[in-house]
Structure 1
C-alpha cells in the first residue's frame, strides 16, 4: 500500500461496494488515493434470524468497527440507517454524503400484478382495496412454509416479505390481517427470493435498489410509510 493511501472498509454486497466506490470516487476528485478492503459483517453471515430478534445494535457495522480500531482500515462506509446512534469509543462520524431517496418501496411478487391494487398500496388506502380480490396462482401456494395458503387469508390481507419490525408495524396498521415472511440477505438475494415466492411483495429501501439499477418498473413507493432515521444516506 502506498503511504498516504486511505483504506476504505466495506461489506461485500453489490450495494455496499457501490457505496464504498462512490466514496473512493469523491476522494479521488480531491486528489486523495484510496483502496477498498472487503470485510464480512455479522449481519451477512446469519441470514435466517429476523434482525429485531438478533438483540444487538450495529449488526452490520461491528466487524468494521473492530477493523477501524485495530487500524486494519482507515474509514468505513455504511448505510447510515445501519449505524448505531452511539458509536464505539474511539470512532467518530467523519462525513455524510448527499442523501438519496428516503422512501420505502413495495416490489410486487408473482402473485400481485393488478395495477389498481398497486395504486391503492401506493396511497395506503384500504377502502380502495375493498372490492379487489387478491388471488395467488395455485402453482405458487406450496413455496412458503408455516403460513396458511394465501387464498385462505381474510379480505384485505397480504403476504409480505420483510425482516423490519418498523415496516411490519406500519403495514399492519393499514392492513391488520396481513401475514409476513422473514426476508434476509443482500438486495440481489432478496429480489431472487421474491421472484421464486408466493408472496404478494417485499419491502425495500428505494435508495438501495436505485443505486445499483435494480429497481423494478412495477415497484411502488409507499408514501404513507415512515422511513428509518437516515434512510438513503451514506
Structure 2
C-alpha cells in the first residue's frame, strides 16, 4: 500500500501536528510521507491577517495540492479553518482536544493582567484576543506580533512586547510550559472555534476505504461532536480569523453544551449565550446559538465590524 501523503505547513508546530497524525496512522499499520507546503499566511508576516484576507490564509495552498492529488490529506490547526470549505473539501477527522485556554507567556515573572500599575504590552495577532482584552482589561496595551511561535518569542526577547498571548495547545506542544505566567479563564477568554484540536481535511477524490481507515485511526468522536456544533455556529455568522467570534463546545453524558458569542473590535460590547442539547443535534445547536447571539445585539456588532474591516 502506498504511503499516505500528509500535507502540512512548515513551521515547527505544524510539523509537530503532522507527525502526531502520522504516529496515529502508524499505530493502525498505515505508512505516511509528510509534504511541506508554504501558505499565504506563512509568506506574508509583516501585514495583519485581517489585511491580507482572513479566509484560507493558512489553508488555500494545501487545498490546491489536495485537489491536484499531490497530497492525500492536509493537517491543520482546527482554529485556522474557514467557516465554509470550498466545494469538494471536507474535514473528515478531529484529534483528541488539548486544553483550550489562552495563556500568557513571558520571561518576566511579574506579568499580571489585573494590576494596572504594571505597564504591560502583550503581543498577539488575534482580533478576538485584542477585543477581549479591551473589554476586560482596557489598561493593557497590545501590539501586532506574527510568525511562528519561535519567531514570536524571539521578537518578545528583543523587546517588541513584554509578553505573548497565545493558545495553550501550541505553547505546550512546543515545550514552552516554563514560560507560562497565566492560564486565562475560559469565562473571559472563550477560545476561537476549534482551538486545541487538529483537523484532517480531504478532497472528494480520496479513496473511500482509505478515508475510513484514516478516520478510524485519527478521529476522536467526543471532540467531533463539539467541533460540529462550534463550526456550525461559525458558519452561521460567516466568521473568519479577523472577526472576534468565540465558541466552545463541551461534552458530557451524551450532550453538548455550546457557549459562544462576539465582541466588538473596541471591546465596548460583548454578547454571549449558551445552549445545550443531544449530540445528534450538534449542528442545530450551533445554528440556535448563532440566532440567539445575533438577536441579542450580535447582528449590530457584526455589521459594524465588517464595515470597519472593509476600510
Bin the TM-score by the shorter chain. 0.7 to 0.9
TM-score, normalised by the number of residues in structure 2: 0.60
Secondary structure of 1:226's aligned partner: coil
Per the alignment, do residues 198 and 45 of structure 1 end up closer, same or farther by CA in structure 2, a change over 3 Å counting? closer
1:199 Cα deviation (Å)?
2.2
Question: Structure 1 residues 186, 179: closer, same or farther in 2, change over 3 A?
Answer: same
> Which residue of structure 2 aligns with residue 78 of structure 1?
76
User: Is 2:106–2:179's contact at 8 Å kept on the other side of the alignment?
Assistant: no
- What is the correspondence of 1:105-144 to structure 2 with a 5 Å cutoff? 105-109=103-107, 112-114=108-110, 118=112, 121=113, 126=114, 129=115, 133-134=117-118
Q: Distance in 1 between matches of 2:160 and 2:144?
A: 13
CA distance in 1, matches of 2:161, 2:2: 50
Q: Which string of whole-angstrom CA distances, capped at 9 and with x for unpartnered residues, describes residues 27-69 of structure 1?
A: 1110111110010111001001111222230200111000100
Given that 2:155 and 2:161 are in contact with CA atoms closer than 8 Å, whether structure 1 keeps it comes out as no
* Aligned residue in 2 for 1:35: 33
User: Partner of 1:183 in structure 2?
Assistant: 145
Q: For residue 10 of structure 2, what is the aligned residue in structure 1?
A: 12
Partner of 1:214: 176
Computed over aligned residues only, the root mean square deviation of the Cα atoms, in angstroms, reads 1.6
Could you state the TM-score of these two structures normalised by the residue count of structure 1? 0.79
**Could you tell me how far apart the structure 2 residues matched to 1:92 and 1:174 are?**
37
Q: Does 1:91 align with 2:89?
A: yes
The CA deviation at 1:108 is 2.5
Name the CA distance, whole Å, in 1 between partners of 2:130 and 2:10. Answer: 27
How far is 1:178 from its partner? 3.2
Q: 5+ residue gaps in structure 1?
A: 136-157
Paired residues in the alignment total 196
In the aligned structure 2, how far is the partner of 1:192 from the partner of 1:200?
A: 12
Question: 23, 26, 33: which is aligned to 2:24?
Answer: 26
Secondary structure of the 1:95 match is strand
Q: Whole-Å Cα distance in 2 between the matches of residues 78 and 68 of structure 1?
A: 13
Distance 1:76 1:219 in 2: 33
How far is 1:90 from its partner? Answer: 1.3
Q: Which has the higher helix share?
A: 2
Q: 1:41 to 1:217 in 2, by over 3 A?
A: same
Q: Provide, for residues 76-124 of structure 1, a one-character-per-residue CA deviation record: whole Å limited to 9, x for no partner.
A: 0000000112111111111100000111011125xx432xx53xx3xxx
Q: Tell me the residue number matched to 2:164.
A: 202
Segments of 4+ in structure 1 off by > 4 A? none
Instruction: Output the CA distance in 2 between the equivalents of 1:218 and 1:35.
Output: 34
Q: Which runs of 5+ in 2 are unaligned?
A: 199-311
Structure 2 CA distance for aligned equivalents of residues 47 and 37 of structure 1:
22
Higher RCO by CA contacts (8 Å cutoff, separation 6 or greater) = 1
- What's 1:160 paired with? 122
Q: 2-side partners of 1:184 and 1:36: how far apart?
A: 25
